Amino acid sequence: MSFPLVRMRRLRRTAAMRNMLQRVKIHPSNLVCPIFVDENAKVPISITVMPDYYRFPIQQVVDEVKQAVEQGIKAVILFGVPSKKDETGSSAFAEDGVVQEAIRKLKKEFSDELVIMADACLCEYTTHGHCGIVKNGEVMNDLTLEILQKVAVSQAQAGADIVAPSGMMDGQVRFIREALDDAGFDEVAIMAYSAKYASSFYGPFREATECAPKFGSRKSYQMGYGNPNEALREMEIDVNEGADMIMVKPALAYLDIMYLAKSKFNVPVAAYSVSGEYAMVKAAAKNGWIDEKAVVLELLTAIKRAGSDLIITYFAKDVKSWLSQI
Ligand code: PBG
């Protein structure tokens, strides 16, 4: 035989060899753990549509996050379930709001050992469930920007390291940056939910935080999934407005967008593997149809391989022990 066989399997022979050559590796320090804080809860409330996930009372948030930190997690993102909702979502920027209280407790306990992110949006706080102020059945972009400024500043005042506007209002990054700087928080970063799609994968989250819109949909402000160029435009605008990081959300059905994001922009790219992705894996695993641990590690690796620097995932706390088992 004139040409030798190319034996690709030589480098796959042993686990040590495979490990040595694995370029894309999941590490808990690149994961962000979402935490749901419930102002009314006295004990953790299990979320039926997100098996093994809970809404925590403010008093128990520190304990829950301690467990995550023990699992190598260095970052959390907080979502609030307030006791009071109104038309303008005013409890989203209350000094004693549910997220603000939780941030204060976490900052006191963990100081700079933990990155505290806060989702800045109104949908969990408004009676109509939309991400902005509603007038005559429409979500009003510019009126909402002023509220988002208050939300971001109140979160920064409480001690958030990063605010993450997720309402897909035009100009939200610029307005929030200005407000943070004016209030003396020029060191607080913005992680923009830039490429956020109007996705059916958010269903379980909306049930978990009781934020489903009471009328219409979010399609007039979140992106449609058929047009990748629009995502590039959104990301470009956010970077120009001063976003320190950009996000692609959901993750699994949008790996191409993540790849584009990483190739086009020189800022960290976050991926949000959302509630529906979590629920799908859990449902199949609970039926014994897939191996949860193996599937999650494969999926997270794919999300990283596509270009994300950090991943928000409801599996964050499990990863360390799973990695040690493979
Ligand atoms: C708030 C917000 C949503 C999610 C994160 N922030 C809901 C939505 O936009 O409808 C979804 C997260 C998930 O599904 O895990 N705007």
Dist. CA 202 → ligand 1 center (Å): 6
Are the C-beta atoms of residues 163 and 152 closer than 8 Å to each other? Answer: yes
Give tens-digit pLDDT for 201-231. Answer: 999 999 999 899 999 999 999 999 998 999 9
**Ligand 1 centroid, distance to 30 Cα (angstroms):** 20
Residue 121 Cα, ligand 1 centroid: separation in angstroms?
9
Q: What percent of the chain has pLDDT over 90?
A: 97
pLDDT of 47-94, one tens digit each? 999 999 999 999 999 999 999 999 999 999 999 999 999 999 999 999
Ligand 1 nearest-atom number relative to CA 222: 9
Where in the chain does DSSP place strands (E)?
A: 31-38, 45-46, 54-56, 75-81, 115-120, 133-135, 138-140, 162-165, 189-196, 245-249, 269-272, 310-312
Residue 90: the pLDDT is 96
Strands (E), 1-63: 31-38, 45-46, 54-56
Contacts of 307 (CB under 8 A, 6+ apart): 258, 259, 261, 262, 263, 269
Q: In the annotation, is 249 catalytic? A: yes
Asked if 148 and 90 touch (Cβ cutoff 8 Å), the reply is no
Q: Output the pLDDT for position 2.
A: 80
Domains and CATH numbers, the chain: 26-324 (3.20.20.70)
22-40 tens-digit pLDDT: 999 999 999 999 999 999 9
Of the candidates 108, 97, 102, which has an alpha carbon nearest to the alpha carbon of residue 76? 102
Percent of the chain with pLDDT over 70: 100
The predicted model scores a pTM of 0.96
